[in-house]
Structure 1
Amino acid sequence: MVDEQSPAAQDSAAPSAGVSALLEGLPPLLLGTYTPKIDAKGRMALPAKFRSQLGQGLVMARGQERCVYLLPFDEFRRIAGQIQRTSVGNKAAREYLRVFLSGAVDQQPDKQGRVLVPQMLRDYADLGSDVVVIGVGTRAELWNKDAWERYLAEKEEGYADIADDVLPEVEF
């Protein structure tokens, strides 16, 4: 007897129809830590779990703490729109917008799921071949591997200590 399952049942990673309906319209939720390589031509394969969320295209931009943001198009537009609404009379917002948008580059992954990390952004984040991609909710961040390890080691110390300040209303 052949056990015929639906495609969703065969693929445990696929959300059920009910979950898909609930998630429709919400921004992607990018999670986890991945260690792809940047090749000699500056290309990096997007983590497989991010390809469906970022795979239609993304924007790379200068991030905070010398990382590179990987943003789905819709999320990039949302952030840029918020900054632009405040920028007319706010000098700090104008300056931030100039730096943020001048370093932004839209990308379409190739058939292998690779994107070109522009030299300007590789220089900004000191990216060599060893990199880390982390999911940070509605965006991913691309880090120099050594810089990420130092950052994480430094911040993990205070992780529990700042929970009450950052998450006062969230109960675990």
Structure 2
Amino acid sequence: MFRGLHTINLDAKGRLAIPTKHRDALAALCGGRLVATIDTEEHCLLIYPVNEWEPIQAQIEALPSFNPAARRIQRLLIGHATDLELDGSGRILVPPSLREYAGLEKEAVLLGQGKKLELWSKSQWDNRRDAYLDMVSQPDQLPAEMLSLSL
């Protein structure tokens, strides 16, 4: 559903306009209700339509709470999960704690990832993208399944 890369700006209050093509899909899919949380592997945010997030949260909640690794994931993902809603102008307000985690300032990148969007600081995304491109040129860095794809 979500694909493509969009360079966007955050205003002084931490609001960003969702691109029109995604806005329409979000309105139809979830009434503009979203959930944002941190990515535990990268300093970016994961933004899900609420209907996509709820089954993920249920799976995370079902993890054994006495397992320290599972408990860490529960605390990080569910603890940072924040409900967002598209306003009448198609914007969302990203809370200060999430903006701080992702290093978001004025320039940002919204990256489509199928059922979710990723929100990156533009400078962090540019650095990560360049590192990923360096890895792609090394076949031993690719999952075996990728080697059989024909593009």
Q: Structure 2 length normalisation: TM-score?
A: 0.87
- CA gap of 1:77–1:40, structure 2 versus 1, over 3 A, is same
The correspondence for 1:43, drawn from 15, 23, 27, is 15
After superposition, where does 1:1-172 map in structure 2 within 5 Å? 29-55=1-27, 56-63=32-39, 64-160=41-137, 161=139, 162-167=141-146, 170-172=149-151
Deviation of the 1:170 alpha carbon: 4.7
Q: Which region of structure 1 is more displaced relative to structure 2, 115-124 or 94-103?
A: 94-103
Distance (Å, rounded) in 2 between the aligned partners of 1:163 and 1:53: 32
- CA gap of 1:81–1:111, structure 2 versus 1, over 3 A, is same
Q: Which consecutive residues of structure 1, in runs of 5 or more, have no partner in the other structure?
A: 1-28
Q: Is the 8 A contact 1:62 1:100 kept in 2?
A: yes
Distance (Å, rounded) in 1 between the aligned partners of 2:149 and 2:70: 30
Compute the RMSD of aligned alpha carbons: 1.7
- CA gap of 1:169–1:78, structure 2 versus 1, over 3 A, is farther
Q: 1:36-84: CA deviations, max 9, x gaps?
A: 1000111100121211333421101111301011101121112111122
Q: Which region of structure 1 is more displaced relative to structure 2, 145-154 or 67-76?
A: 67-76
Q: Which amino acid aligns with 2:88?
A: K
- CA gap of 1:163–1:43, structure 2 versus 1, over 3 A, is same
Deviation of the 1:138 alpha carbon: 1.1
Q: Structure 1 length normalisation: TM-score?
A: 0.77
Higher percent of residues as strand: 2
- Three-state SS of the structure 1 residue aligned to 2:37 is strand
- CA gap of 1:49–1:87, structure 2 versus 1, over 3 A, is farther
Distance (Å, rounded) in 1 between the aligned partners of 2:53 and 2:89: 23
Deviation of the 1:167 alpha carbon: 3.1
Q: Which of structures 1 and 2 has the bigger CA Rg?
A: 1
Q: How high is the sequence identity, in percent, across the aligned residues?
A: 33
Alignment: residue pair count:
144
